[in-house]
A and B are shown apart, each in its own frame.
Chain A
């Protein structure tokens, strides 16, 4: 909350400043330029700093807003305010289109697409008769609302900074929401997000359109600020400088965007005013200064300048865990205890010539702990990925509670109640443990983007966080709840992943090496927790190397070697099974048998 109050105070000071006697008009213009740029940069902060996507085309998107206002007011006589929804919609639609084309591709296609599009749109703005070609559109009327004119610089200044304040608050709200956590999870790659039912494509598209709407808003304001629109402020170089602001200030923070906009706008002003005194042609040096500064900054302060300021500020108070919150709806177990809940039939996965999993059959009964063991490279994690839909089967099938789930996609599999952890921990290291765990509850919430902007999602958020806190307590990490997840020991991070998976309220839980990196005492605690989950009716499938842990805990063990199942049965049987002993301890005594077991995976 303090961040919002600070933003309000700051904006009000800036808004009121021009009413001070003797405030130089030149400063008002400069502050307006900073405000307009900061609105665009805030969008980029969410897109780049938080979502890990980059756009060089924000200037062109701002151009849509500006030209919408200009064309509709001058050619069609619309009232200025009536053009606002159109301006925002046009920018949003343009971004939706470009985003739709690129979100499914690797991360660098969006920036490349925006470079190409930024150029194409700039040329287009300069060629269209309707937009006045290179001369642009002039004599745009002053912004008036119901007869009240904002022609006066100080009044328009208040509008610009008011818009910045609203954008900032909306962005803070967005980041602190269910949708915001989904956007933040994008940086960790789509596998983790999708395994909790988050659509990575949808989250990317949402954030790109949001950034475009802010750019459109800035463009719309710019049209009335300048009373004229020409193509040049919307070229690729302006797009680059917006990104520059976000990077300089500190991508990831609303304050960073404002700081970045201030620094870059001020720096450009200084270069333009001071350089001519030193050198004959200052325009010459502007790109060099900016280019070199950008590279230095990336090398020296990759997180931007705001985090350096932040270190001087007092630590923000941790988010209080809600006390009175509605409980989230639970899930009925899909099968009665003892019946088959998961069935893997003839599962085969080939990577080119390598058969990683070869015709594997096994099942998990409801309320049972099954372990998947085998030497390194046996295909255990691949099997996990086949069950959860991260990888598609080459042949065979997987069914869950009687329904075939192979091929239906990660998100729908998650929706059925299959949660998982990862062999290589996939947490968001900068986010608190609590927020990381709340991410697991994504599918148990409903509130979307618009509710987040206006904070109509508080009740649901309280429930999600109460549930997350409950799961953290259950796994015994309460004291670490408010720490950044990245600061915990690796073993503890694995436990955080378990809490996150539990927040999904699954009926089947898949754990990939949960005990790795834990100390003896902690392993005992984990073992107790898993037994307790089993007692509650949950089914568990785990991959684990610690045999003591596996033998003491599980009901049933499946042994893989080179992608083929070599044995299965209760722990006592597996302990003495000759093929298992051979796979683990080497088979010098019976070489013939080993080559049989190997044949499946050795084709590569």
Chain B
């Protein structure tokens, strides 16, 4: 192994690691706010990548149709839950959120498919992140007060359903998108592509954005308050149902961005997201499902281990990455503070 290969492996590892970091953030965010161990995060990545690739190729993606369907089911849930106290204002808000916006996005996807990279990018993030709140409303909100375990089982059910829907709406064929830019710069013997730079920039921007959101905005503080104590947050007037939806919108948005970044680098299939998401999980668990900086560091480490093991023992790449969790859990088990979990 010479220096060039070493550098390539490092670059590859850091790039993938940056994406795992994004997913790890989303998982930490969702867990902190809703206590859901969000297994379907990877499906948002696949949806994002496939939506972006289809829009770029001039096709209307399946997610554009899926969104109004999800919104409609969520609308029925809300109408049923609020059946005894429906007001005009409620109907207007619901109508905008669950009929007008999804249909507008569908219309935009039909009109703007294949027009420009920027349009595809914006539409992808808009469509996929809009799926998040509806998904929360349908699958998780009715279970919001149940144990972590029940939420976890529901998350696995959601993962199954979303993977199946991915197959129905995108088909079994893998897709790969064009690179965001042809730009490339040589760093010594190593060419660094614009795509790589975009991944690093997006990760750094998101870290900064999340920091700003949680430290400087009322919404962000409400999410943190909910994370610390749901009942207390409710008592001071925070709508905890709302915070769950915001968390899932953010997670879906982060997933979509990861998918867009990943789509030009590798072929994405409807079920590729799961394993990618789980690697984000390995990072999030190393971070104790709590710390963003630790998650980022862990994600880069996971990326590096993966890229080196794909060079030295490519058959055992996945085995090595997932077994990594065992020593991590062992260390946490004997050092971390233990929480009392009761249901």
Contacts and interface: CB of A to CB of B under 8 A. Distances in A.
B319 A101 contact: no
A123 interface: yes
A317 to B, nearest CB: 29
B264 to A, nearest CB: 26
Interface in B314-343: 315-316, 318-319, 321-323, 325-326, 329-330, 332-334, 336, 338-343
Contacts of B340: 189-191
Interface string A287-323: 1111111110011001000000000000000000000
B278 A105 contact: no
Chain B: number of interface residues, binned into ranges: 35 or more
B161 interface: yes
A293 B161 CA distance: 9
Contacts of A289: 164
B322 A120 contact: yes
A106 B341 contact: yes
Interface string B151-172: 0111011111111110110000
Contact of B319 (A123, A188, A284, A291): A123
B37, B148, B321, B342: most-surrounded residue (chain A CB, <10 A): B342
Contacts of B160: 237, 240, 287-288, 290-291, 294
A284 B164 contact: yes
Nearest to A390: B340
A83 interface: no
Given A54-B152, A115-B278, A119-B275, A288 B322 contact: no
A278 to B, nearest CB: 14
Contact of A286 (B142, B164, B339): B164
A108 B149 contact: yes
A285 interface: yes
Interface residues of A, number: 49
Interface of B is mostly: helix
A109 interface: yes
Interface SS of chain A: helix, strand, loop or mixed? helix
A287 B148 contact: no
Given A101-B326, A284-B168, A298 B37 contact: no
Q: Which of A48, A189, A292 has the most CB of B within 10 A?
A: A292
Contacts of A119: 275, 278, 318, 322
Contacts of A240: 156, 160
B319 A288 contact: no
Nearest to A111: B152
Contacts, number: 148
A117 B322 contact: yes
B91 interface: no
Interface string A546-557: 000000000000
A566 interface: no
B342 A98 contact: no
Contacts of A243: 153, 156
A527 interface: no
B239 interface: no
Nearest to B155: A295
B94 to A, nearest CB: 21
Contacts of A115: 39, 278, 281
Q: Which of A104, A119, A287, A292 has the most CB of B within 10 A?
A: A287
Interface string B294-316: 00000000000000000000011
Nearest to A102: B329
Contacts of A102: 329, 333
A282 to B, nearest CB: 11
Contacts of A98: 326
A292 B161 contact: yes
A288 B168 contact: yes
The 10 closest A-B pairs by CB, nearest first: A291-B161, A291-B160, A294-B157, A288-B164, A287-B164, A189-B342, A120-B322, A116-B325, A107-B341, A116-B322
15 contacts: A98-B326, A105-B336, A106-B339, A113-B325, A113-B329, A116-B322, A119-B278, A127-B319, A191-B340, A285-B168, A288-B165, A291-B160, A295-B157, A299-B142, A302-B146
Given A117-B322, A189-B342, A290-B161, 10 more contacts: A105-B329, A106-B341, A108-B152, A112-B281, A117-B325, A243-B156, A285-B164, A291-B164, A293-B157, A299-B143
